Amino acid sequence: MNMHSNFEDTHKQKLTIIGAPIEEGAGRLGALMGPAALRTAGLVRTLEEFGHPVEDRGDLQLPPVLPVVPAVDGLAHHIERIAAWSRMLSSETYDAMTKGTFPITLGGDHSLSMGSVSGVARYCEEHGRELFVLWLDAHSDFNTPATSPSGNMHGMSAALLCGEPGLEGVFGEEPRGFVKPENLHLFGIRSIDATERVLLRERGIDVVDMRRIDEFGVAKLMRRIIERVQKANGILHVSFDVDFIDPSLAPGVGTTVPGGATFREAHLVMELLHDSGVVGSLDVVELNPFLDERGRSALLLVDLVASLFGRQIFDKPNLADQSAGALSI
């Protein structure tokens, strides 16, 4: 699977859609309807229009018997159910990557990334590829059961992926992969708990908050991350939380934080990622149709995913034309 070709070279790349109707990790009900809303908003049809063969595996369902998870030191609500989801999703994304396809996991709350990214990380470790993760989110999601003020596990997913203690029981003896803390890039952050702030600094995790985006702009900050992935010949997983976007544009989320990405900032992120050719897997999480307004959030998410897979307002001029002053309007 060539992660470094441009869209023109990979427009026939097969995509695997994995529905994860999980809401146990969140504090509000409704995210389980997210995968259905994204399909209704035309996600599969839109991807197929770009020439991608799409295999939609439908929505996963919890097994009748949940794994036994040892008691944790602190709060971790529904950990047995989260563990079951995580193990299934890890297996699904690992299988998709092994078969040479691009896994797109539709959520569902952000706890699903414990599983989806773990499967991608396992694949990368076995194939000697460096995995980087771009976490587009209002929150850093770096709590543990010992530090979480709420016990909601969608706020612990990044910590689990980086191997923070207290969450080992989620996978138990099941195979999984890890993300190096220095390879995690939190982007668009504007809500961090005090205990998370300490951990993030200690682990050396790259945090691009909205203040930095305001000051330096999306393009400069994104290109810095992309260049790092390219230099390492790495693969980038994008974990896209709806609340990365300002709630005035995407109200269908249970954890709104004012001051998020604008319409054009969000599209520019996706366009730059598409141009880079380094993205190998994607999560779209935290869409809660119960809180949405006539599907606004779902439609916007489909539009943004389309930008990630090559939708452009107009063809980019080539560099030779620009240097010769041939750019015309």
Tell me which residues are annotated as active site. 110, 137, 139, 141, 154, 241, 243, 286
Binding residues: 110, 137, 139, 141, 241, 243
Alpha-carbon 290 to chain mean position: 21
Beta bridge partners of 133: 184, 237
Please give the Cα distance from 231 to 237 (Å, whole number): 16
Please give the Cα distance from 318 to 149 (Å, whole number): 51
Dihedral sign from CA coordinates of 286, 287, 291, 293: positive
Please give the Cα distance from 175 to 196 (Å, whole number): 27
Please give the Cα distance from 167 to 295 (Å, whole number): 35
Q: For residue 223, count other CB atoms closer than 10 A to its CB.
A: 15
The structure tokens listed for 272 are: 């730059």
CB 291 within 8 A of CB 30: yes
Binding residues for Mn(2+): 110, 137, 139, 141, 241, 243
As a three-state string, the secondary structure of 156-175 is: CHHHHHCCCCCCHHHCCCCC
Q: What backbone phi and psi angles, to 5 degrees, belong to 52?
A: -85, 125
CB 261 within 8 A of CB 212: no
CB 35 within 8 A of CB 59: yes
